[in-house]
Amino acid sequence: MDNNSDQRELTVHIWRSEASASDDDLQPDGAWQTWEVPVRNSQTVLDVVTWIQRHRDPDLSYRYACRVGMCGTCAMTVQGKPRWTCRTRIGTVVDGNELTIAPLRNLPIIKDLATDMAPFFDKWAEAGAQFVPDRNVDQQTMAPVKPDSRARRTADVAIECIGCAVCYAACDTVAWRADYLGPAALNRVWTLVNDEREASPKEHLKAVAGESGCLSCHSHQSCAELCPKHLNPTASIAGLKRKSFLLALAGRS
Amino acid sequence: MTMLQKPWAARHHPAWWAFALHRISGLTLVIFLPVHLLVLSQALDDPRQLDRFLTWADTPLVKIAETILVVLFAAHFAGGLRLLALEFLPWQNSQKTFIALASGFALAVGIVFLLSAFGGVD
Ligand code: HEM
Ligand code: SF4
Ligand code: SF4
Ligand code: FES
């Protein structure tokens, strides 16, 4: 017997896919399926999905790994908003008795709640969101970077991203133009542009200074509103816009 | 068979509504400004036609429509300045305050316009 559960049950609506994504339809039609799930103390949305999969339908597909907000694999659309399911307690999102859980928006559905993150990470690669060390620095005379220096703090504010794609799913510009690199990749590039150890911050800036990069951001701030790490991609992208503007001015004179 | 996409919950925050207002007001201005300039050009081409139009336009309904346009323009102007500041100045964490200030400005301009339209202030 489970002495942890009270009498209450939650009505849970889960999105079931009827087909996987195709090239021209990322999120094909499907249907909502409803279950009653016993309420427990400190239950998370991920616990609810797992309970249904273990007790009601082993065929339900979803994904998670760490269960503690570190790996970024468990994000889904909960009550209409993208969230980490492992760190979202039922009590913080259920007002009444109903819970809806769907796959992340803007990503191809593999099956049910599992989306394919490949396009999201492909865009990081496209944005050049990868640290390139400065090989010319003499290892002997290399000056240490002080953690509390202004430059380091500027690079640090945006650095704690775990690549969960919550911001990517929240971003309307991603939904509206397929080539838009998205908040997470651009946010990462902003850390590199500010990193003193980078070989060529300017190259990073150039890679995202176009229409598929920072120029397309409309500053909705849905990304910043929903990032579970409380990062602010909008602020990072504004920084990229500012610096690419200055770069363009410098290039012209 | 149901459609999945229902992104509205993720949009319920001031910055998104500010974006929506900016787009609606921007598009409204695109439609309205040519008409506005056309009417003004009649002051040169055919002043009597303009007078007839102005007499026709002197009704509460048109004044209210004008007020809405003025508010949308003021909102686009103040919101546009807010966006330019957001993009060109160092980031401020008081974005919601700036959105409130821009909305307040647009409403204030609307009230002044209404008072002068109906109060006969010249
Ligand atoms: C009065 C001064 C104005 C300022 C400061 C201003 C500022 C701006 C800014 C910063 C944007 C970019 C918004 C974004 O990134 O989403 C914008 C968009 C736009 N503006 Fe203006 N604007 C002004 C006047 C006008 C006028 C007179 C018109 C109409 C002829 C207009 C029509 C538009 C349109 C259609 C957009 C696109 C909206 C969108 O993409 O969502 N604007 N404006
Ligand atoms: S910026 Fe935030 S929401 Fe976006 S991927 Fe990184 S941690 Fe997730
Ligand atoms: S602020 Fe920019 S990146 Fe963030 S949700 Fe809006 S368009 Fe997307
Ligand atoms: S399971 Fe790793 S972040 Fe949720």
Distant-in-sequence, close-in-space partners of A147: CB < 8 Å, separation ≥ 6: A156
Residues of chain B positioned with their CB less than 8 A from the CB of A234:
15, 86
Q: How far apart are CA A113 and CA A63, in angstroms?
A: 8
For the CA of A218, the nearest atom of ligand 3: 7
| pTM across the whole model | 0.92
Closest to A32 in 3D by CA, of A11, A56, A15: A15
Q: How far apart are CA A200 and CA A215, in angstroms?
A: 21
Closest approach of chain A CAs to the CA of B55, in angstroms?
Answer: 42
Closest approach of chain B CAs to the CA of A81, in angstroms?
Answer: 5
Closest approach of chain B CAs to the CA of A106, in angstroms?
Answer: 9
CA A73 to chain centre: 9
Q: Which residue has the tokens 């200055």?
A: A246
Q: How far apart are CA A169 and CA B68, in angstroms?
A: 34
> What pLDDT does residue B1 have?
40
Residue B17 lies in a domain: no
Query: What value, to the nearest 5°, has the Cα angle with vertex A126 and ends A172 and A229?
Result: 55
Instruction: Determine whether the interchain pair A225/B8 forms a contact, defined as Cβ–Cβ distance below 8 Å.
Output: no
Contact call for residues B72 and B25 (beta carbons, < 8 A): yes
Residues of chain A positioned with their CB less than 8 A from the CB of B95:
221
Residue B109 lies in a domain: yes
Which residue among B4, B8, B88 places its CB closest to the CB of A15? B4
Compute, in degrees rounded to 10, the torsion defined by CA atoms A117, A120, A126, A132: -80
* Whether A241 contacts chain B with CB within 8 A: yes
Long-range (24+ apart) CB contacts under 8 A made by A207-214 are A207/A127, A207/A128, A208/A127, A208/A128, A208/A181, A208/A240, A208/A244, A209/A240, A209/A244, A209/A247, A209/A248, A211/A179, A212/A177, A212/A179, A212/A180, A212/A181, A213/A127, A213/A181, A213/A186, A213/A240, A214/A186, A214/A240, A214/A241, A214/A244
What pLDDT, in 10s, does the model give residues A159-178?
A: 999 999 999 999 999 999 99
pLDDT at A252 > cutoff 90: no
> What pLDDT does residue A196 have?
87
Q: How far apart are CA B97 and CA B77, in angstroms?
A: 17
Q: What is the CATH number of the domain that holds B80?
A: 1.20.1300.10
What pLDDT, in 10s, does the model give residues B20-58?
A: 999 999 999 999 999 999 998 988 888 998 999 989 888
Whose Cα sits closest to atom 1 in ligand 4? Answer: A67
What is the pLDDT of chain B when averaged over all its residues?
90
In which element (H, E) is residue B5 found?
Answer: none
Q: How would you write chain A as a 3-class SS string?
A: CCCCEEEEEEEEEEEEECCCCECCECCCCEEEEEEEEEEECCCEHHHHHHHHHHHCCCCCCCCCCCCCCCCCCCEEEECCEEEECCCCEHHHHCCCCEEEEECCCCCCEEECCEECCHHHHHHHHHCCCCCCECCCCCCCCCCCCCCCCHHHHHHHCCCCCCCCCHHHHHCHHHHHCCCCCCHHHHHHHHHHHCCCCECCHHHHHHHCCCCCCHHHCCCCCHHHHHCCCCCCHHHHHHHHHHHHHHHHHHHHC
> What pLDDT does residue B4 have?
64
Contact call for residues A170 and A223 (beta carbons, < 8 A): yes
Containing structural domain, residue B48? 22-119
Ligand 2 in contact with A87 (CB < 6 A)? no
Residues forming beta bridges with residue B2, ordered by sequence position: A30
Instruction: Determine whether the interchain pair B9/A221 forms a contact, defined as Cβ–Cβ distance below 8 Å.
Output: no
Residue B71 lies in a domain: yes
Structural domains for chain A: 5-115 (3.10.20.30), 118-249 (1.10.1060.10)
Q: pLDDT band for A7, please (50, 70, 90 cuts).
A: confident
The pLDDT > 90 percentage for chain A reads 81
Residue B35 lies in a domain: yes
The Cα-based distances of B115 to A47, B76, B122 in angstroms read 59, 21, 10
Residues 8-37, chain B: which have Cβ within 8 Å of A? 8-11, 13, 15-16, 19
What pLDDT, in 10s, does the model give residues A56-106?
A: 999 999 999 999 999 999 999 999 999 999 999 999 999 999 999 999 999
Residue B3 lies in a domain: no
Closest to A122 in 3D by CA, of A85, A160, A163, A81: A163
Residue B98 lies in a domain: yes
Q: How far apart are CA B18 and CA A60, in angstroms?
A: 39
> What pLDDT does residue B3 have?
58
> What pLDDT does residue A1 have?
45
Residue B65 lies in a domain: yes
Total tally of structural domains belonging to chain B: 1
Residue B9 lies in a domain: no
Ligand 1 in contact with B22 (CB < 6 A)? yes
Q: How far is the CA of B29 from the centre of ligand 1 (A)?
A: 9
With the most atoms of ligand 3 within 8 angstroms of its CB, the residue from A161, A172, A217 to mutate is: A217
The strands making up A30-40's β-sheet, listed across from edge to edge, are: A30-40, A5-17, A98-102, A75-78, A81-84
